[in-house]
Amino acid sequence: MPPKQDSASDLFDLKNYFVIGSYQAAINEGNSLDHLKEAEKTERDIYVYRSYVAQGKYRIVIDDIKDSSPIPLQAVKLLANFYQNADNRENLLVKLKEWLNDGISGANETVQIIASTIYNELGNYEDAMRCVYASNSLEGSAQLIQIFLSINRLDQAEKELERLSKLDEDATVTQLAAAWVHLYAGGERVKEALTTFQDLFDRFGASPTILNGLGLANMASKRFAEAEKNFLQCLEKKETDSDSLINLICCSQHLGKAPEVINRYVNQLKSVAPNHRFLKEVDKLETAFKTAAVQLKA
């Protein structure tokens, strides 16, 4: 069993900033860490560059990370290329499979998580799960929980959360994962999710990850006005955050907002994430509706 998080670790704050979605704080923290061992420097750079990817600053990552860099860093660069160059994804997937099939790089935590992230983005949940199924890392376990919830397997998410809690029940990522599961389960457990997100907000401040979680918990509690404030505050911090825009679209419908307001959020989402699965699903539904309307008129 891996050791629990050590609050005295030089990388603790950096990792925690990344987990809660405070990406600029993670970058700033990483840039301040100069006196590290070589292995720690690589781990520091992984979290710093993953933070740049999360901010959508792909070019920085692509230009900075060289082909001679350690494989985990090259995996971060591949992720940046995946988002930046949609037309070249087949070649990127070939490279990714090479790493996964290699005994050494395939066992690396960063490679596993990034591979899982990419497959999950493509809707290939089976391969996404396979990449992190045997992971003993906190983030790998949390990633698996997210995938289980994506495919409506609350039972498996519950089991994985139990395993994650045994690894480190006090870790921030464990608390976030528990809140996701409570929120998905619904009912009385929404209160637990709301309490957890509020506690994380009080401890770490208003990051996009925490604000979106808090907003979703408020929506599940039918506190739509409060939820709207959470999502709008999130956009103030990151105006290109696709999750916040999608949540605002849903929240605005519950609030009975004017169609032009909702369309404004939809158009904003199209401008920042034109290939998002949410938009593809909306297009499918609109096409199906139009087809049904024509058939009814015939």
Q: What is the DSSP letter of 151?
A: T
Residue 146: the pLDDT is: 96
| pLDDT for the residue numbered 94 | 96
Tell me the CA distances in angstroms from 156 to 136, 167, 193, 213, 220, one per residue in order.
16, 17, 18, 21, 22
Q: Residue 75 is which amino acid? A: A
Neighbours of 236 (CB within 10 A): 12
Q: Which fold has domain 191-298?
A: 1.25.40
| pLDDT value at 7 more than 50 | no
CA-only gyration radius of the chain, Å: 20
Give me the pLDDT at residue 1, please. 38
Cα(211)–Cα(231) distance, rounded to whole angstroms?
Answer: 7
Displacement of CA 189 from its chain's centroid (Å): 22
pLDDT tens for 215-265 read 999 999 999 999 999 999 999 988 888 999 999 999 999 999 999 999 999
Domain ranges, ordered by start, for the chain: 135-185, 191-298
40 pLDDT tier (thresholds 50, 70, 90): very high
Q: Is 212 helix (H, G, I), strand (E, B) or coil?
A: helix
What is the spatial distance between Cα 268 and Cα 270, in angstroms, rounded to a whole number?
A: 5
In this structure, the chain runs to a length of 298
Q: Which residue has the higher pLDDT, 121 or 158?
A: 158
Q: In the numeric block, which tokens belong to residue 152? A: 């409506």
Position 200: which residue type? Answer: L
Are 145 and 180 spatial neighbours (Cβ–Cβ below 8 Å)?
yes
Quote the pLDDT of residue 298.
63
The residue type found at 255 is L
Residue 282: both structure tokens together: 């909306």
Cα separation, 110 vs 15, in Å, equals 13
Interatomic CA distance for residues 277 and 96, integer angstroms = 22
The distance from CA 161 to its chain's CA centroid, rounded to whole angstroms, is: 17
